[in-house]
A and B are shown apart, each in its own frame.
Chain A
């Protein structure tokens, strides 16, 4: 998956949305509630993997359908934000695939001419 953004925060938000779109159709999710999200990493790439793993954990254990993300604070090693959505409802949310994990394989996160690009490969 490749995601883009005008800032590091935005590319993190778009990566999150891209990941949940593999799991279900975000268009079928209403913004009933927000879940606070926090992650830490040893560098910005591992921060991205941890951020996605945090969202996956919340989605799977609550279980929760996400439809929107916002990053409030971000540095190279820490990110804080939230995801909006509602409790997973198999009857209503158009479910697609189960994701095992975001991987480090061919992971890329870079800024070029003011635009951020992230490439993440997921194990489905």
Chain B
């Protein structure tokens, strides 16, 4: 995304190789760093990150007040706004800051995987009918309004209570809640901290997919590891993946609080290398207000994915003429990959209360963490990793090693290799659709140019990213899926 002609500075010379998949930028190497930078990558990915200026962003994040241990980057690191995408930073709750830029505009953008009891053979003949039904039922792309009409009171209830409030309205299943981070309700949400503008942007968009890299895919399991069966995943199983976020509501919350915190920067005397890194102490009014508003946006995002799940289940019911429960359409798990969370972690032998920012990174907790629901006690928390269109996606599980190395975090996807603009130049949407269809993948997109931006060429190889995560100990593979049909926003 360095289309603007930015001259990158190389950081490779100041880095040391800790092991094959771990590279360190020492804290003394660059002025302003409070902690080292640690990048989990192989040499090739590291060089790419260096070329697109993402390592500069790792260094910048290391200057945040109250940051502990290190400014971390996952193997899918690429250039972002302020924080790199793939960035993880933990700040001390009592002394540190919260940064809206460390969460991103699409607060709680995330991915979920819905299982079915159908094998590919059982579903194949109905696939086209299913895709037509989904296309008619799922609002997607710019300007597409949601089918969920909520008045202000209902909306506020969702923002505070999250997915359980939607379930109470008959949308989604009670048992879905256990398969969501925080049981589908991010605590501490206060709708009074969400601006009128954010309400207005979000109100018409509940239950919409959005555009950009958001999608819905019907996939088939193509490779399982031992333990996958404990999650109800089997070879040849048809599954559905949904990638969406908090829509205009989250975008506006981020926009609003970047302004609020920007105005208070000077009085705090913060010197930041990038204005997009604006922040405020977690214990300040601005910080606490943002956290309450971010919680609302996270709850909205989980409700959004839950509403989409409801309509997906309805489509399957109609097409297969069987109940969604009969079709085994349980939620495997729902992860957020743009969020900051209050978590306890051990750092240098001390148990600390931290605000863990994950921007394009996913929480990957092992079974031992109390946050992981009972049904995952044997496996650890499932992590859903979307691939790019036409390539594999993965289910991973969290590890103990990730807890000590990355605050229990792993990658979030393939990571961009080409900017959107470069992708549009390299690939034509219509050609791409034909190419994917030649490989038996059905494609429906709101806009063809948007399709080109998400072409496989635009992304790093997700399989490689997942292997590096495994090599670095950040997560373990449980299953691999390949796409059958893509609905793109």
Contacts and interface: CB of A to CB of B under 8 A. Distances in A.
A57 B256 CA distance: 12
Interface string A83-124: 000001010000111101101111100000000000101011
Contact of A23 (B104, B142, B274): B142
A31 interface: no
Interface in B225-282: 248, 251-252, 254-255, 258-259, 262-263, 274-276, 278
Contact of A104 (B262, B263, B420, B449): B262
Given A42-B263, A61-B201, 12 more contacts: A50-B259, A53-B255, A57-B252, A60-B248, A63-B143, A100-B106, A101-B251, A104-B275, A104-B276, A104-B278, A105-B80, A123-B81
A97 to B, nearest CB: 6
A2 interface: yes
Contacts of B81: 103-105, 121, 123
A46 B259 contact: yes
B447 A103 contact: no
Nearest to A103: B81
Given A57-B197, A97-B212, A103 B142 contact: no
B141 interface: yes
B210 interface: yes
Contacts of A103: 81-82, 105, 276
B245 to A, nearest CB: 9
Nearest to A46: B262
B4 A105 contact: no
B201 A60 contact: yes
Interface size class of A (residues with CB under 8 A): 20 to 34
A95 B255 contact: no
Interface residues of B, number: 41
Contacts of B420: 97, 124
A61 B4 contact: no
Contacts of B276: 103-105
Contacts of A95: 141-143, 446-447
Interface in B102-122: 104-106
Interface of A: 2, 23-24, 42, 45-46, 49-50, 53, 57, 60-61, 63, 88, 90, 95-98, 100-101, 103-107, 119, 121, 123-124
Nearest to A65: B143
B65 interface: no
A28 B19 CA distance: 55
8 contacts: A57-B197, A88-B143, A95-B143, A97-B447, A101-B254, A106-B6, A121-B81, A123-B251
A96 to B, nearest CB: 6
B273 to A, nearest CB: 11
A42 B276 CA distance: 15
B71 interface: no
B233 to A, nearest CB: 33
A124 B423 CA distance: 14
Interface in B203-217: 204, 210-212
Interface in B64-106: 80-82, 101, 104-106
Nearest to A54: B197
Interface centre among A45, A100, A106, A124, by most B CB within 10 Å? A100
A2 B4 contact: yes
Contacts of A121: 1, 4, 81
B450 interface: yes
A2 B197 CA distance: 27
Contacts of B201: 57, 60-61
A2 B5 CA distance: 11
Contacts of B101: 105
Given A57-B201, A63-B143, A103-B81, A97 B275 contact: no
A97 B258 contact: no
B284 interface: no
Contacts of B16: none
B200 interface: yes
A105 B248 contact: no
Contacts of A23: 142
A98 B211 CA distance: 6
A98 B489 CA distance: 9
Contacts of A24: 142
B200 A61 contact: yes
Nearest to A123: B105
A42 B263 CA distance: 7
Given A57-B197, A57-B201, A123-B105, A105 B82 contact: yes
A98 to B, nearest CB: 4
B249 to A, nearest CB: 11
B423 to A, nearest CB: 12
B263 A100 contact: no
B105 A101 contact: yes
Contacts of A53: 255
A40 to B, nearest CB: 10
Contacts of B142: 23-24, 95-98
